[in-house]
Amino acid sequence: MVALLLGSAALILLSAFSSPLARLGVTSAMAFVLAGLVLALLFGTTLGISLETNAVLRVAELALVFLLFNDAARLDLGALRRSPGWPARLLALGLPLTLLLGFAAGAVLFPSLPLSSVFLLSAMLCATDAALGHRVVEDPSVPVPVRRALNVESGLNDGIAVPFFLVSLDITVSALDADVPSAIAAALAQQIGWGLAAGVVVGCAGGYLQRAAAARGWFETRWRQPCTLAVALAAYAAAVSLGGSAFLSAFVAGLAFRLTHGPDDSEATRFTEETGGILAAATWMVFGAFAVPAAVYHLTWQMAVYAVLSLTAVRILAVGAVMAGSGAPWQTRAFLGWFGPRGLASVVFALLAFERGTPAAETLLAAVAATVGLSVFAHGLSAKPLVAVYHRWSETGPGQPAR
């Protein structure tokens, strides 16, 4: 209860000063990470929780479930079909290339780790966070094609990264019973198959029922938003009950909900978004209170170098390579490459891997915490100045092609 009281007090205080903090360039993730760190320094073990606490993992899981569902449910699929160029490059080619480059960097920097653990580390860090990049995608001074590409990429790539994470986690913890090829197929069939099935069934049923009920005037306005929240929770619960991936199920359910529900209705998903935001705030405070100190305690020069490379060379080289021939000038490729922040998905993946007892779990957690912690502050503090620089260049430089 001490942790709940102090966390609630921090949420109230930071909410009250959210506008002044935003004007100073302090993002919500930065504020909550710092709040968690301060609480840990002041109260320590009296908080009564740790990274091993089951409630911590459940809160983090649900935060990611709501994030995945809401991102997918709010995605403008029509706009994506009409203009798939840049987002398709970033998702279909950029994500796998980022994963492979991260694996190569990790294999060089962590030669004592099993290659499966190195691949797991790269899988946990290949997805970007839409929430951490919202300042860029919502800034009208950034050209529309660039904002659309970053928005679609960050909205979809964490869901696409889930299968890579699931398979690499199973291999790393040696949870697979047969030889590796058939075991991978079995893991894919169970985790991904049941996750897809649960997401499609629950998302389609929820979206169609909500649309039909609204058309007939059966819905009281106050129940529309809780209904959407219940769809996301049902997708999560169905997947867990069937042995599938709750994250993949939530992501697919969001897409299915959008397709069957019809045109974007922000009111239908607002409560789900806000609930996810509260749980994300709690997750960021736990991250600041426990993961950041653990990262500092276990930090090595290899982890520090890997964190920097993951956010710079790995991401920027991957984006630069897949955007070659797209018509985007180098300034745009660099801008797209830099603004790929690592966030909530990576934190939750790391907590799950830690909870499963992966080999070298503390090393992996520390490396992820170092990378995400650096990303929270580096991307948050650089957003305004780099957007201003890029805007000045885009006003005087060559026009952006519509992609």
H-type alpha helices, 45-132: 54-73, 77-82, 85-88, 95-109, 115-124
pLDDT by residue (tens digit) across 113-166? 999 899 999 999 998 887 777 778 888 888 888 888 888 888 778 888 888 888
CA-closest candidate to residue 35, choices 281, 275, 279, 277: 281
pLDDT by residue (tens digit) across 101-110? 999 999 999 9
Residue 6 structure tokens: 């102090």
- Region 17-40: mean pLDDT is 86
Of the chain, the percentage scoring pLDDT greater than 70 comes to 90
pTM confidence score:
0.88
Task: Read off φ and ψ for residue 113, nearest 5 degrees.
Answer: -80, 145
Q: What is the pLDDT of residue 179?
A: 55
Out of 83-92, 180-189, 222-231, 345-354, pick the least confident: 180-189
Check whether 180 has a pLDDT greater than 60: no
Q: Produce one character per residue of 83-118: b if its CB has 16 or more CB atoms within 10 Å, e if not.
A: bebbbbbbbeebbbbbbebbbebbeebbeebeebbb
Residue 17 structure tokens: 């000063």
Distances (CA, A) of 100 to 94, 317, 352, 386: 10, 11, 22, 28
Check whether 402 has a pLDDT greater than 50: no
Which letter does DSSP use for residue 401 in this model? Answer: P
- Three-state secondary structure along 315-368? HHHHHHHHCCCCCCCHHHHHHHHHCCCCCHHHHHHHHHHHHCCCCCHHHHHHHH
Residues 202, 208, 211, 214, Cα dihedral to 10°: -80
300 vs 227: CA distance, rounded Å = 47
Rounded to the nearest angstrom, the gap between the alpha carbon of residue 372 and the centroid of all alpha carbons in its chain is: 11
Q: Say if residues 218 and 173 touch (Cβ distance below 8 Å).
A: no
236 vs 275: CA distance, rounded Å = 15
Rounded to the nearest angstrom, the gap between the alpha carbon of residue 61 and the centroid of all alpha carbons in its chain is: 11
- Region 66-80: mean pLDDT is 78
CA-closest candidate to residue 353, choices 112, 198, 107, 123: 123
pLDDT by residue (tens digit) across 315-371? 999 999 999 888 889 999 999 999 988 988 999 999 988 888 888 888 999 999 999
